[in-house]
Amino acid sequence: MAGFREECGVVGVMGDPEAAKLIYLGLYALQHRGQEAAGIVTMDPQGEFHGHKAFGLVGDGFTKDILAKLDGSTGIGHNRYSTSGASRMVQNIQPFSFKTQLGPVAIAHNGNLTNADQLRQELEAHGSIFQSTSDTEVFMHLIARSDKDQLLDRIVEAMKKVKGAYSLVLLTKDRLFALRDPYGFRPLVMGRRGPAVVVASETCALELIDADIEREIAPGEIVEIFPDGFAKSYFPVQSPRKAFCSFEPIYFARPDSQIFGEEIYNLRKKMGAILAREAHVEADVVIAVPDSGVPMALGYAAEAGLPLELGLVRNHYVGRTFIEPSQSIRDFGVKLKLNPVGSSLRDKRVIVVDDSLVRGTTSVKILRMIRKAGAKEIHMRLGSPPITHSCYFGVDTPERGQLLAAQRNVEEIRDFIGADTLAFLSTKGLREALGSNNCNNYCYGCFNGDYPEDPCRPIPPQPTDKTGGPGLKAGF
Comparing 77-81, 200-204, 214-218, 249-253, the range with the smallest average pLDDT is 77-81
Comparing 16-20, 90-94, 108-112, the range with the smallest average pLDDT is 90-94
In a domain, 400, yes or no: yes
The verdict on 269 and 195 lying in the same domain is no
The verdict on 230 and 291 lying in the same domain is no
Q: Which CATH number does the domain housing residue 296 bear?
A: 3.40.50.2020
Mean pLDDT of 312-340: 65
Gap between the Cα atoms of 182 and 239, Å rounded: 5
Residue-level pLDDT at 376: 98
Q: What is the DSSP letter of 386?
A: -
CB-based contact 73:228 (threshold 8 Å): no
Gap between the Cα atoms of 212 and 229, Å rounded: 14
Strand-pair partners of 286: 308, 351
Mean pLDDT of 365-376: 96
In a domain, 249, yes or no: no
Nearest 5 degrees, angle CA 423-CA 370-CA 425? 15
The verdict on 39 and 181 lying in the same domain is yes
Residue-level pLDDT at 318: 61
Give the other-Cβ count within 10 Å of 155's Cβ.
Answer: 24
In a domain, 340, yes or no: yes
Local structure of 50: helix, strand or coil: strand
The verdict on 338 and 299 lying in the same domain is yes
Residue-level pLDDT at 130: 81
Q: 55-93: per-residue pLDDT in tens?
A: 999 999 999 999 999 999 999 999 987 544 445 667 789
Residue 181 has pLDDT above 50, yes or no: yes
The verdict on 117 and 197 lying in the same domain is yes
Gap between the Cα atoms of 447 and 428, Å rounded: 12
Gap between the Cα atoms of 111 and 162, Å rounded: 12
Residue-level pLDDT at 104: 93
The verdict on 359 and 408 lying in the same domain is yes
Q: 123-157: per-residue pLDDT in tens?
A: 888 877 787 778 888 999 999 889 999 999 999 99
How many residues are recorded in the chain?
476
Residue 475 has pLDDT above 80, yes or no: no
The residues annotated as belonging to the active site are 8
Residue-level pLDDT at 11: 98
The verdict on 275 and 237 lying in the same domain is no
Cβ-Cβ contacts under 8 Å for 123 (sequence gap 6 or more)? 130, 138, 141, 142, 145
Q: 424-455: per-residue pLDDT in tens?
A: 999 999 999 999 999 999 999 999 999 988 76
The verdict on 293 and 363 lying in the same domain is yes
In a domain, 253, yes or no: no
In b/e form, how buried is each residue of 286-308, taking b as 16+ CB within 10 angstroms? bbbbbebbbbbbbbbbebbebeb
Q: 299-322: per-residue pLDDT in tens?
A: 999 999 999 999 999 987 765 443
Cβ-Cβ contacts under 8 Å for 363 (sequence gap 6 or more)? 2, 354, 357, 380, 417
Q: 256-301: per-residue pLDDT in tens?
A: 999 999 999 999 999 999 999 999 999 999 999 998 899 999 999 9
Angle of helix 410-417 versus helix 361-372 axis, rounded to 10: 50
Gap between the Cα atoms of 145 and 134, Å rounded: 18
Residue 365 has pLDDT above 70, yes or no: yes
Domain that holds residue 224: 9-243+459-474
In a domain, 299, yes or no: yes
Local structure of 250: helix, strand or coil: helix
In a domain, 2, yes or no: no
pLDDT band per the 50, 70, 90 thresholds, residue 5: very low
Mean pLDDT of 91-114: 91
Q: Which residue has the higher pLDDT, 464 or 398?
A: 398
Handedness of CA 191, 193, 197, 200 (dihedral sign): negative
Kindly report the three-state secondary structure assignment for every residue of 104-170. Answer: EEEEEEEEEECCHHHHHHHHHHCCCCCCCCCCHHHHHHHHHHCCCCCHHHHHHHHHHHCCEEEEEEE
Burial tier of 157 (Cβ tally within 10 Å: 0-12, 13-18, 19+): middle
CB-based contact 126:142 (threshold 8 Å): no
Residue 3 has pLDDT above 80, yes or no: no
Mean pLDDT of 407-434: 97
The verdict on 229 and 309 lying in the same domain is no
The verdict on 58 and 87 lying in the same domain is yes
What share of the chain in percent tops pLDDT 70?
88
Q: Which CATH number does the domain housing residue 466 bear?
A: 3.60.20.10
pLDDT band per the 50, 70, 90 thresholds, residue 7: low
Residue 65 parent element (H or E)? helix 64-68
How many structural domains is the chain composed of?
Answer: 2
* Model pTM score: 0.88
Local structure of 378: helix, strand or coil: strand
Parallel, antiparallel, or unpaired: how do β-strands 37-43 and 49-55 relate?
A: antiparallel
Residue-level pLDDT at 469: 37
The verdict on 50 and 110 lying in the same domain is yes
Single-letter amino acid, residue 119: L
The verdict on 442 and 463 lying in the same domain is no
Average pLDDT of the chain, as a whole number: 88
Q: How far is CA 437 from CA 185, 268, 433, 440, 441, in A?
A: 17, 17, 11, 7, 9
In a domain, 208, yes or no: yes
Residue-level pLDDT at 325: 43
Residue 331 has pLDDT above 60, yes or no: no
pLDDT band per the 50, 70, 90 thresholds, residue 462: very low
Residue-level pLDDT at 319: 53
In a domain, 427, yes or no: yes
Q: What is the DSSP letter of 83?
A: S
